[in-house]
Structure 1
Amino acid sequence: MDTQFFDKNLKPAKDLVKFRKPVFSNESEAYKKAREDLMQQEIEFRRFETALAAQRRALPPGPVVAASYRFKDENGNSCSLKDLFGEHTTLVAYFWMYGPKRARPCPMCTNTLGSMNGNGNDIKQRTAFKVIGRSPIERQIAFALERGWQGLDFVECENDDFAKDLGFLNKDGTENPGIMVFKREGDEVRLFYMVEMPKEAADPGQDPRVSPDLGTLWNVLDLTPEGRGKDWYPKLSYS
């Protein structure tokens, strides 16, 4: 990574480890050393993530969105991509796998949106935030009510052009989820950032994913001795 995105005035991570205060005084020397080594790496990783976010924010202007994509909002009104910004100049959009032929939405998309819902109203203080799906808007809203989601705004693709052009709809009719950020400048809308992680870029035994991981589920499980597991995925219901 370009070193210009790192804060060169920060103290070395190894010098900050000395401020660690163990909760229990009877930890072994082996645990103490391993935990201090881990803490140093956690500080380094935090700084790397901070620099990565700065590098993302420094991206040059992205491609202009020339196509006239149309959507239907929760009131049934037809709207353009520019309309989705509302009063903001930035739009964060999540495309979820809930096509019109699916009986139920994708469980992983549902899990991701569940965690985003809790922060939805806060996110919308800083940027426009929309969930885009191919299912009729009535179905999307009905499922949101079923889950008790109140912080998310849904829109329906009026046709499949948006989903196809951005790679969310495959030729065989299957879907891919995705998160993207658009920037509006006057009447012009540009793609600022989009998660681009093809399956070929995935590490062995993992799904293709970026860092930081947007899924609260995985971040919590990463704290545990068992980790994420390799044969488990969330479900829509556990009853």
Structure 2
Amino acid sequence: MDEQLTAAADMAAHRQPAFPGESADYAKARQDLLAAEIEFRRHMTRLTAQRQALPPGPLITKDYRFKDEQGFEVGLIDLFGDKDVLVSYYWMYGPERERPCPMCTNWIGAVDGNAADIKQRVAYKILSRSPVERQFAFAQERGWRNTDFIQTIGDDYARDLDLLQPDGEYPALIVYRRDGDQVRLFWMSEMGREMADPGQDPRDAPDIAALWSILDLTPQGRPTGIRSCAIDHCRHPRGSGDPSPDDAIMRQVRRWVPAFAGMTTGNQISARPRRSSAPYPAASGAALPGSDRPCGPPDNI
């Protein structure tokens, strides 16, 4: 297919500047960038096709139990409703937390605006160990209208996915596929810390978080050192009042993104760790390490 495509550089040569006054240097650099953007678009298209061509994933044989929006106990397959695909996001809002993770809050808030359209094609659910009523109350505070919240019953689901670690809780974006009366894994975000390039974080590609995608269009870009996934401060209370290097990073974030005004200083943001052999935290309702320090959400999105 690629052999039949017009060269990206030839396509970019059709560029028509919107404003007069471009310098020769800007015009050349922008045309070169446009060619690269065309190639990037084509690569994303190939990547999407490669993902869609994945062979059948493993069957989910364990009978995970959940409570739905009406408070009924259901199984994983029931979360599909009348759809064949379930897009799920496990967010960091366990019962031991006073407030949910700011980045989970940002992610869900961004998707909520499109959730009604998304749910025309697939089932879309947000999972947490907190009761549905507690999640819904926070959704009302944020003004979310289109997101469905589910409670995991017990900790098996989170434990089996390595989302409960000795240092706390981690998020997970997972897509399931119906196979008759069974459920298979289709795709799961798997970019771990060891997959980060030097100076970058192991964010997904493409990066689904609208916050970072928009900032990537700006001259400053995303703040240096900012991770697009979980936040260590949500798990680790700092033991001293000494500022950390990340304080400066978060001050940058507050200047560029007012949504982060609710974050306290000293946030370190990191990726999900490798699988740990250490014991898991206590069952739902017990305190996790770092849970004594509230993690305020971004309040001004």
Using the size of structure 2 for normalisation, the TM-score is: 0.75
1:237 alignment partner AA:
D
* SS of match in other structure, 1:110: helix
| More off after superposition, 129-138 vs 8-17 | 8-17
Residue equivalent to 2:43:
48
3-state DSSP class of the match of 1:224? coil
Tell me the distance in 2 between the aligned counterparts of 1:107 and 1:202: 22
Q: Which residue of 2 is the match for residue 85 of structure 1?
A: 80
Name the amino acid aligned to 1:194.
M
Number of the residue aligned with 2:230:
none
1:19 aligned residue: 14
Shift of 1:187: 1.2
Equivalent positions of 1:166-177 (< 5 A) are 166-172=161-167, 174-177=168-171
Name the residue aligned to 2:176: 182
| Matched length | 233
Partner of 1:3: none
Amino acid of the structure 1 residue aligned with 2:69? E
| 1:237 counterpart = 2:232 | no
Kindly provide the CA deviation profile for residues 184-225 of structure 1, in whole angstroms up to 9, marking residues without a partner as x: 111110000000011111123333211100011101100111
> Helix, strand or coil: the match of 1:38?
helix
The root-mean-square deviation of aligned C-alpha atoms, in Å, is 1.4
SS in 2 for 1:218: helix
Q: For the residues of structure 2 that align with 1:171 and 1:30, how far apart are their CA atoms?
A: 53
Map 1:158-169 → 2, pairs under 5 A: 158-169=153-164
Q: Give the match for residue 71 of structure 2.
A: 76
**Structure 1 segment 83-232 matched on structure 2, within 5 A:** 83-172=78-167, 174-230=168-224, 231-232=249-250
Cα shift at 1:159:
0.7
Given the alignment, which residue of 21, 29, 34 partners 1:34?
A: 29
SS in 2 for 1:182: strand
Q: Which amino acid aligns with 2:184?
A: R
Q: Percent identity?
A: 54
Give 3-state SS (helix, strand or coil) of 1:19's partner: coil
CA–CA distance in structure 1, aligned partners of residues 2 and 84 of structure 2: 28
Deviates more, 1:90-99 or 1:205-214: 205-214
User: 1:23 deviation in Å?
Assistant: 1.3
Aligned to 2:235: none
CA shift for structure 1 position 137: 1.2
Give 1:238 shift.
Answer: 5.1
Instruction: Please say if 1:9 is aligned against 2:11.
Output: no
How far does residue 7 in structure 1 lie from its aligned partner after superposition?
4.1
Distance 2:5 2:163 in 1: 41
* Unpaired segments ≥5 residues, structure 2: 225-248, 254-259, 263-297
Amino acid at match of 1:77: F
Distance 2:119 2:3 in 1: 33
Q: Write the distance in 2 (CA, Å) between the matches of 1:144 and 1:19.
A: 46
With the length of structure 1 as denominator, give the TM-score of the two structures: 0.94
Structure 2 residue matching 1:94: 3-state secondary structure: strand
